[in-house]
Chain A
Amino acid sequence: MNLSGNSPTQKAIYWGSHYLMIAAFVVFALFPLYWLLKVSVTPNDILYTEGVRMWPSRTTWENYTFVLTQSNFPHYFMNSVIVAGTTAIVTTMVAAVTGYSFSRFAFRGKVIIVALMLITQMFPLVMLIAPIFKILAPLGLTDSLTGLIIVYTAFNVPFATFLMQSFFDGIPKDLEEAAMIDGNTRFQAFRRIILPLTLPGVAATLGFVFTAAWSELLFALMLVSSDAASTFPVGLLSFVSKFSVDFGQMMAAGVLALIPACAFFLLIQRYLVQGLTAGAVKG
């Protein structure tokens, strides 16, 4: 491909504008996060006077110490870790066996099951909020982390299944056939031979599901009513509506919410394309 013209000047102009546009995208992507960080380390007394300065004249950690020691955020954080972590593990296990069966078996009803899973990816989950609340309430699963885990697991299984299937599709069938000739059952072959080969896929699926469960807001708002069962988004939002002037503290809490998501993002970055094509609907 020869987009850059032939003469050195044309080349310089092309690459100059290329880098300029890239830089604009990088700034647009990172500036809001940079600002979050900046306000979180700005002392309260100069927050307004130095409102638009790129970096405050003094910085402080007091917002972080407040959030970590005086507020409920460590508790919300732990709740979110439990919910997102359990959801990620359970979803990945369920998705691994389902994705494997999609990849290896032809069976009656498969088309219907695949279609069902595809449709769930498209439909407005918000319309399930009321009925799910009504179903979970008598079971004692509202205002409970278990309830959230069940709901999130179900929501994430279809996408995670297609993702895992794409990894299984890349592994030759001969491998488990050889293992089965050696006397293993298919499930043993799957567990001992195939699954270890898809460990990168398992890690990517864990990361995607963890990030999705960590971010979920609307069902958590509806299903959780007490501080004890609040996840991070619910806690942060109630903090915002109660103490809407403590910007430094809110933003310090925001930075904390960003950490696990970003850590997982860096981990799964290599698999982004595969994940997004598997879950094209999900985002």
Chain B
Amino acid sequence: MQAGKLPVARRGVISRRLSGILEPYLYVSPALVLIIAVMLMPLILGLSYAFRDIRILNPFSGGFVGMAHFQTLLTDDAFFGALANTAWWTFGSLLFQFTLGLILALLLNREFPGRRLIQALVFLPWAVPTFLSGLNWAWMFNPVVGPLPHWFTALGLMDEPFNILSDPDLAMWGPIVANIWFGIPFFAITLLAALQSIPKELYEAASIDGATTRQKFISITLPFLAPTIAITLMLRTIWIANFADLIVVMTNGGPADSTQIVASYIFTQAFRRLDFGYASAIAAVLLVLLLAYALGVIALRRAMTHADS
């Protein structure tokens, strides 16, 4: 508080009122400046690139091309392949992450000796840097150093040890397995937190009334978990659909684009071909699709809550 010429009492009132109005904005401003400069402005700029010819290696590029990128996109088989792969990658990963995460959360929800240690150990994959998870799993699938192909052969799943990452039909399983490994802890932690917030009295009351374990699970546990499940599934769908790191590290979208998802396709266009215009056009389409998905989920939830009441 700066000392002014005003009488102490009035100065206090005025400056307090002024600072009362301005203070919150001062606290928020550094974050706001960062987000606007590094996220919002690039987003708008990127959307404008979608209508321009911007190739880093071509100094004459930069002009407006209208809808040309989107027309190219309509006939780009690699893009439609990437769309299908995105759906496969997202729901394949999500299904296993969620199911296994839920089982793990239920297992950890009971008190047993050594639970804290076990909890730390099973949550560890979440802390492993994603590039390392990707590389590590790529090595696990590599017959030269990894045990997995040899085990698959011993089990009769493979005629001879080979790397599934170089087989276009199987390659997507590589990043999906890595993603499951990496993502189980996330679901386990969020669901465990939700489980632990369920009042214990409910189970006791149900036991007194003679409810079986399954009845209790269906009529107490699941309804309590439902909101958490709904929100995490929706948010995770979007997050996984955008999560290109594992694919870039493990397969780079190959072989023959068989593991290319839309997010990794954007990265490939920008990073390897340095075609920022086309990359931004794909990004714009991805943004619209994700927005449509989010709105669809919200509409669905609204319809369902209306149906309930």
Contacts and interface: CB of A to CB of B under 8 A. Distances in A.
Nearest to A215: B129
A125 B263 CA distance: 9
B147 A277 contact: no
Interface stretch (A61-69, A71-79, A114-122, A195-203): A114-122
B224 interface: no
A18 B24 contact: no
A186 B26 CA distance: 12
Contact of A52 (B137, B147, B232): B147
B237 to A, nearest CB: 10
Interface string A102-119: 000101001001001100
A13 interface: no
B145 A97 contact: no
A261 B46 contact: no
Contact of A124 (B49, B131, B184, B242): B242
A273 B192 contact: yes
Interface in B163-206: 181, 183-186, 189-190, 192-193, 200, 203-204
A181 interface: no
Contact of B23 (A105, A155, A214): A105
B150 A98 contact: no
Interface in B124-148: 124-133, 135-137, 139-140, 143-147
B24 A105 contact: yes
B interface, size bucket: 35 or more
B36 to A, nearest CB: 9
A215 B104 CA distance: 25
B35 interface: yes
Interface stretch (B64-72, B74-82, B114-122, B298-306): B114-122
A131 B231 CA distance: 31
A233 interface: yes
B30 interface: yes
Interface string A210-247: 01001101100110000000000100110010000001
Contact of B280 (A122, A127, A150, A237): A127
B122 A25 contact: yes
B98 interface: no
A281 B150 contact: no
Interface string A249-283: 01100100110011011100100110011001111
B104 A272 contact: no
B118 A22 contact: yes
A130 B27 contact: no
A257 to B, nearest CB: 5
A21 interface: yes
A43 to B, nearest CB: 13
A254 B132 contact: yes
Contact of B118 (A26, A123, A250, A266): A26
Nearest to B207: A2
B34 A94 contact: yes
Nearest to B133: A32
Contacts of A265: 123-124, 126-127
A17 B242 CA distance: 37
Interface in A148-175: 150-151, 153-155, 157-158, 161
Given A30-B121, A32-B140, A128-B39, A280 B231 contact: yes
Nearest to A32: B136
A132 interface: yes
A95 interface: yes
A276 B190 contact: yes
A276 B34 CA distance: 23
A130 B186 contact: no
B41 interface: yes
Interface string B206-227: 0100000100100000000000
A217 B134 CA distance: 11
B49 A131 contact: yes
Contact of A33 (B124, B190, B236, B244): B124
B190 A130 contact: no
Contact of A126 (B124, B145, B200, B244): B244
B295 to A, nearest CB: 12
Contact of A250 (B135, B140, B236, B290): B135
A215 B131 contact: yes
B229 to A, nearest CB: 12
16 contacts: A25-B122, A32-B136, A52-B147, A101-B23, A113-B28, A124-B263, A125-B242, A128-B43, A129-B279, A130-B46, A130-B280, A154-B37, A186-B19, A262-B124, A265-B126, A283-B236
Interface of A: 1-3, 15, 18-19, 21-22, 25-26, 28-30, 32-33, 35-36, 39, 47-48, 51-52, 94-95, 97-98, 100-101, 105, 107, 110, 113, 116-117, 120, 122-135, 150-151, 153-155, 157-158, 161, 185-186, 211, 214-215, 217-218, 221-222, 233, 236-237, 240, 247, 250-251, 254, 257-258, 261-262, 264-266, 269, 272-273, 276-277, 280-283
Given A126-B244, A281-B238, 4 more contacts: A32-B125, A101-B23, A236-B132, A283-B126
